[in-house]
Amino acid sequence: MPRDFAVFDGFDDFKAFYKPHVRPEWSLERMRKSFGIDVRFLEEFRLLRPYLREFGEDWSERILSHAERSTHGAFDRPAAKAFASVYRGHARQFHAGQFDAAYLSSIEDVALFMIYHDVKPLWLAGAFEQVLDEFIEFVFDHTDLKRSAYLKRVISVASRALTIEMSQVQRVAAAFEAYRLSALLEDMKTGQELRVELLRLSGSPIAQLSPEEIALVQESFHAILPQTHAFARKFWEQLRLRDEEVYSFFDGEAGAMQDRFVKTLAVIIDGLERFESTLPLLEKLGRVHGASGVTARHYDAMGEALFATLEKALGNQWTPLLEHAWRQIYQALARAMMGQGDH
């Protein structure tokens, strides 16, 4: 458990404090829209119900077993027992297949529990993938292989359901970090300093975007969350094509940089409505990049690499309006980083 969490009287106290801050009012509607959770999807999810019932408690137990192995014993016995209780509560909501407010609440409990115990929520991804593979094998063993179309539908909806699971865990982790950054900024600045910061922000290209455009960017980023590792890898490939020099600055730690790139982008995109809270993070990154030799020209190459990667990942969703909004946002990010990078 991180040292600053010691002020809380256990996980329930921690959860009560942070849970109101990790879900904006629009998250349920956005989840349904982003993942196409409509009447058809809910009907198709019901195809899973017989299999989930037969899979039974194995679903929760296998998730817990895989998660424990992937966290390398990060939970002590009492914490592991508590995590099992939290996850089983969520599994009941998942099996119900409603994907409603109760579902969101239960997945937030899982993500916050892992944050409280300093276990990366993304480590659940491996557990989800392994259990999905085992579940698909179970479905094949219990279904007439002649019903190929039916099998395809069952497997497709199972994959989509676990994509929703992982994206919601990532959403909570990103929202938690954004809130913590915002709270830290408030603690560090006096009212006068904050006014100066907001004046500086008023010249930001982000200030030119409408709430609808910001929501559009956030929805597009949430759509690529399930493929973050591939997205990060392709970004670095695009960057290398455009500017070998800036790629070489980070080549020795490409793997770590890919992971850091996606996490940082998640914090910034989910916090666009309070962009000022991410300025300390951007300024710190600017100083690090400046020390590595990154210049304004390199920021241009990084931006074009990002837009090309987004276009390929989003396909038909990458419209001129969305591209304009992303360019405005990147311009604001680059400006904040270069302002502190001695460029």
Angstrom distance (rounded) from CA 260 to CA 241: 20
For the segment 296-306, what is each residue's pLDDT rounded down to a tens digit? 778 888 889 89
Tokens standing for 135? 């579940």
Other C-beta atoms closer than 10 Å to the C-beta of 70 total 17
Q: Average of pLDDT values for 211-223?
A: 88
Specify the 3-state DSSP secondary structure of 17.
Answer: helix
Give residues with Cβ within 8 angstroms of 251, minimum separation 6: none
pLDDT 10s digits, 263-316: 778 888 888 877 776 777 777 777 877 777 777 778 888 889 899 999 999 998
* All residues at 6 or more sequence positions from 36 whose CB lies less than 8 Å from its CB, including other chains: 160
Q: Which residue has the higher pLDDT, 144 or 240?
A: 240
Taking the C-alpha atoms of residue 168 and residue 142, their distance in angstroms, rounded to an integer, is: 30
The identity of residue 261, as a single letter, is F
Please check whether residue 158 is in contact with residue 48, taking contact to mean a CB–CB distance below 8 angstroms.
yes
Q: Are 74 and 51 in contact (CB under 8 A)?
A: no
Please write the tens of the pLDDT for every residue from 5-28. 766 788 888 888 888 888 777 778
Q: Does domain 3-176 have CATH number 1.10.490.10?
A: yes
For residue range 167-208, list pLDDT tens digits in order.
Answer: 888 888 888 888 777 765 555 444 434 433 443 444 566 767
pLDDT class of 342 with cuts at 50, 70, 90: very low
Which pTM was predicted? 0.52
- Hey, where are the domains in the chain? 3-176, 190-339
Report the distance separating Cα 167 and Cα 338, nearest Å: 31
Is residue 161 within 8 Å of residue 45, measured between CB atoms?
A: yes
Same fold, 3-176 and 190-339: yes
d(CA 283, CA 333): 9
Q: Name the residue with higher pLDDT: 330 or 276.
A: 330
Q: What is the pLDDT of residue 331?
A: 87
Amino acid at 232: A
More confident site: 292 or 107: 107
Q: How far is CA 115 from CA 6, 49, 173, in A?
A: 13, 30, 8
List all residues 6 or more positions away from 123 whose beta carbon is below 8 Å from its beta carbon: 67, 70, 71, 114
Alpha-carbon distances, residue 313 vs 217, 226, 235, 306, 317 (angstroms):
13, 11, 10, 11, 9
Query: Which one of 1.10.490.10, 2.60.40.3880, 3.30.420.40, 1.20.1260.60 gives the CATH number of domain 190-339?
Result: 1.10.490.10
Dihedral of CA 301/289/176/259: which sign? Answer: positive
Which residue carries 């998730």 as its tokens? 63
Is 252:157 a contact under the CB 8 Å cutoff?
A: no
Question: Residue length, the chain?
Answer: 343
**Distance in angstroms (rounded) separating the CA atoms of residues 237 and 242:** 9
